[in-house]
Every structure is written in C-alpha cells, then in structure tokens.
Amino acid sequence: MTASGVADVDPAIVPADEKERMAAVRRYDILDTPPDGAFDRVTALAARLCDTPIAIVSIVDSDRIWFKSHHGVEVDQIDRDPGLCASAILNDAPWVVEDAQADPRTLANPLVAGDFGLGFYAGIPLTTSDGYGLGTLCVLDYEARTMDAEQLAHLGDLAAVVMDELELRRAALHSIELESEQRHTAEALARLLQESLLPAELLAIEGLELVARYLPADSARVGGDFYDAFSSATSHGLVIGDVSGHGPRSAALTSQARHTLHALGQGVWSPASSLTQLNRTILEAPTAGERRFCTVAAVRLDPGRDTGFTATVALAGHPQPLILRADGSVEAVGSFGPFLGWQQQPVYEEHAMHLGAGDTFVLYTDGLIDGRAGQEHLDERALLAALAALSGGTPDQVADGLLTALESFDADQRDDIALLVAQVR
Amino acid sequence: MPELVLETEQTTDPPTVRVAGEIDLSNGSLLSDALDRAFDAGASSLCLDLSEVTYMDSTGLGILAVATNRAVGGGGTITVVGASALIRRLLKVSQLDTVMEVA
C-alpha cells in the first residue's frame, strides 16, 4: 500500500469525488468499529429475503472494503480492487450481476475466477443525503441466479434501514461530542468563577499561620462556599460562609457577601455589625423570584498585648467555629444567630475568647445547611473528636485531617466543603 | 427530580402538611406552593410533619423561613413535628427554632 492508498486501486472504480467521499466516510466514524447487532440483523434478514447464503454491509475505504457486518462468510475486509462493492458505489442505483462468470464486468475478477467462485452479486449503494456512496448492502451467491423485483425492493428497503442506522449513530456521536465540549466549557467557567469567589492567596497575618482548603461538591456547580482573611490598621478578620443553591445567582450572592465583609473589615468593625449590614444588603438586593440565603461565621482577631489574639465571633446561621487548644482540649465557640437574608431585624451576639500560642482556630462549612436526615451525618461531637485527635499537628495537618473527617460524614458529597485553619505561633 | 410527597390534612387544628421524601432546589416550589395554598385557604398557623423527610437542603430552610414569616406576620405560628436530629440541628444553627415551635 502506498501512502495515498488509492494509487493501488484501478482508477476506473474510483469515483470522481473520492476525496469528498472519503471525508464523508470519516464523518460517520464507522470503520473498524466492533460488530453491532443492528447491522447483523439487517444482513441476516437480507440473506433470508433474497435467499442468498451471504449478505454484507460494506464500507469502501480508500484502499480496502471493510465489512461492518458479514452474514455467511468469515471475512472482515478485502482489498478495494477486486471488491465488487467498489464498482457498486459508482452510481446511486442497484448494481446486479446475475451470472458473474459470464458477465464482462466481472468474469476476470479474482473473486469470480478464483477459489471463492462468486456467481451472483447484487448491491445497493449506501448513499448519504448529500450524495456520497459510503459502501453497500449486498447479497452474494456462489451460483449464478436471478433476483425478482420484490427481492430487490426488499434489499433497497434494508439498505435504507442501514443508512438510517448510520445516521442515528452519527447523530448520537455528535451529540456526545457536543455535550462533552459544553461540559468542559461549563467546568472551565465554573472554576474561573469559583476562583474569583476565593482569595488567590490568603493574607499573611503576623503571629498566625493560616491555611485554607476548598472542596467543591461538583466542579461544574458554583456559588457554594467562600472564605476570606483581611486586615485593618488595628485588627484582622476571618470569615467563612455558605450560600444556598448553586448557579449564577448564588455565585453573585457569594461574591457580594465576600466583598461586603471584606470592605467592612477595612474600617473599624465588629463581627455582629458586619453581619447586620450584610443582612440588610442581601434583603435590599433585587431578587428575581427565588430568594437566596447565606450563612456566615465572622471572626475579628485583635493581637494581644504580649502574645496571642482575642477572637470575637458572631454567627449567622453558621455552625460554631472550633478551637483545638495547645493542651489538646477542644471546644465549639459562638452563639447561633439567624441566617442572612431572612429577618428584617436580626440580632447577632458576639462571643470573645483568648487564643494563646499553639492554639488552633477552625472555621468550616460542612454542608450542614444541606443536611441529610436518615443516613450517617455530621455529628459535631464526632468532628470535635476528630479535631482532638489532630492535637500537635501543623495547620496543614489539621486541615487535611478535618477534611477527611468532613468528607466521611458526607460520603456522596452533595455539598461543598471549605476550611480555614489558623494557628497562633 | 427526587421524590417529594405532600399531603395536607385540613381536619387537624392547625392544618397539618405532611412532607415525605427529599426537599431540594428542584422540587422546593412544590412545598412552598402547598404551604401557600394552606395559608390561602384561611389558616393562620400550620403544623409541618417532617418525620418522613430524608433530605433537606438550604432550599427547604428558605421555604420554612418564608412560611414562618408569613405565619408570624398573620399572628400565627409554624409547628414542626417529627424532625430528625439533623433537621433539629439545622433549625437550631439557623435559629429558625426561635420563631417556630419545634415539637
């Protein structure tokens, strides 16, 4: 076989539009695909209706004739040159040779003159809607014979069935490709959007080692969780939040929440007043029917006179932050407050505590607001126990250990998980 | 869409809305419509039986919040019965339990 393939083939059996025809063959992406029951049923039926021992669905490739289905003969493909199908596709009409040994078109053909001893051939071209002959549905016999008009009509109908099958297959392949392309685009977009909801790099806070983890439930869905760290002249802020729902509107609320809290944190702020302010912002935001909600844990860190920090916590519908003390004890801190976007006049209580050297402060979203009833679910005591077991760990070790624990509570991870771990140096 | 079965019983006082299945973004409007219909029929208070709820996401939380606002605004209450431990925690953390009766 030469590089072009076609060069070995008698030019007489190559259609004038061979290049376009081969493009059409490739479009159907059928060559060398595994056997398929749909085509095998057609060839079995063709052999029965035409009363021939052999029936074939053939595709004419550049240098060979490949059989998508072959009934009555154990051959997968033959060279294009002796193949009668190559001649049959030259015209969009049935190609019938009743006595191949005597017919001048075929008597010298090796399949006829040789061991195979072909006596009869009738092929219907498989023609695309734009006029390209892909191959044939053909019936063969070792004996010379005739075929009546009814049988030829049956063969024509079956060829149309084969063509329909090829079209369906191509449409299915096309939609799968399209879908996968769209999914990739959506995922890329989602990642981009999600990245904009999270700080590129956590702010460095003196005296504190800070790490974050974010595990989206579904990379193509955005708008779940957010976290941030910021500093003003006198204090630092840590926030984490979870927005209801997914999609663009949730992402917009997530972005709004994060940026509102970040902006408020640049001035003199308190966690409770920031939550009240954010609640008002969310309530005043125009909603297109569907309301969105948000939970937030907001923490202000004021550096101590000598070492450590005073942490002031306020919660809006969010689970309590956890503390792993340097001595290995654990506690959950903060008073629950109403989630954001619900009440007109919510009251948020602040709760302050000291964080000393070696203490680890943990903010998390656990998908609690997407809680599953009957099954195993997040148990705060179990989470505190998991945290206690991480005593002595670096912030990275604590974060990874908790991530594993949180994941185990939500095995099919229906919600995002985010973690912010701060350890006092 | 996960299965959500709703049944409103008018003969109890207040009327009881029995919820079974999963409440999420895809079917939440069924629940909010059912609650709206119960209020529209004249009820000022409602009892929500959540004992057959197997999953509830933030959509459910939002619907409960809106329903509670409507009940309280009309001088009534929302009573929740049969809530699982997880839903109870959800109601506590969100503070919905401060404005509704959790039996």
Cβ of A339 within 8 Å of Cβ of B95? The answer is: yes
CA gap A213, A138 in Å, rounded: 63
Q: A248 at the B interface (CB within 8 A)?
A: no
DSSP assignment of A100-126 equals TTT-TTTTT-HHHHSTT---EEEEEEE
Interface A:B, Cβ pairs < 8 A:
78
Give dist(CA B28, CA B21) in Å, integer.
Answer: 11
R_g of chain B computed on alpha carbons = 12
- Phi/psi class of residue A221: alpha, beta or left (left: φ > 0; alpha: ψ in -120 to 50)? beta
Whole-angstrom Cα distance, residue A235 to residue A223? 28
Q: Cα(A367)–Cα(A244) distance, rounded to whole angstroms?
A: 10
Round to whole Å and give the CA distance between A313 and A351.
Answer: 5
Q: Closest approach of chain A CAs to the CA of B62, in angstroms?
A: 7
A296: β partners: A241, A316
B24-69 pLDDT, tens per residue? 777 888 999 999 999 999 999 999 999 999 888 777 888 899 899 9
**A224–chain B Cβ distance below 8 A for any pair:** no
Which amino acid is it at A160?
Answer: A
Per DSSP bridges, beta strands B16-23 and B46-56 are parallel
Which residue in this structure is represented by tokens 């629940």?
B31
Dist. CA B25–CA A367, nearest whole Å:
15
Give A78-104 pLDDT, tens digit per residue.
988 878 888 899 888 999 999 999 998
- The DSSP secondary structure of A171-223, one letter per residue, reads HHHHHHHHHHHHHHHHHHHHHHHHHHHS-SSPPP-TTEEEEEEEE-S-TT---
ipTM of the complex model = 0.83
**Inter-chain touch B61–A415, beta carbons under 8 Å:** no
Sign of CA dihedral A144, A148, A151, A152: positive
Is B55's CB within 8 Å of A380's CB?
A: no
Query: Do the chains contact at B87 and A318, CB–CB below 8 Å?
Result: no
pTM of the model: 0.63
Per-residue pLDDT at A289 exceeds 80: no
Given an 8 Å threshold on Cβ–Cβ distance, is B94 in contact with A244? no
Please check whether residue A415 touches B, CB under 8 A. Answer: yes
> To the nearest whole number, what is the mean pLDDT of chain A?
85
B93 to chain A: which residues are within 8 Å by CB? 295, 315, 317-319, 336, 368-369
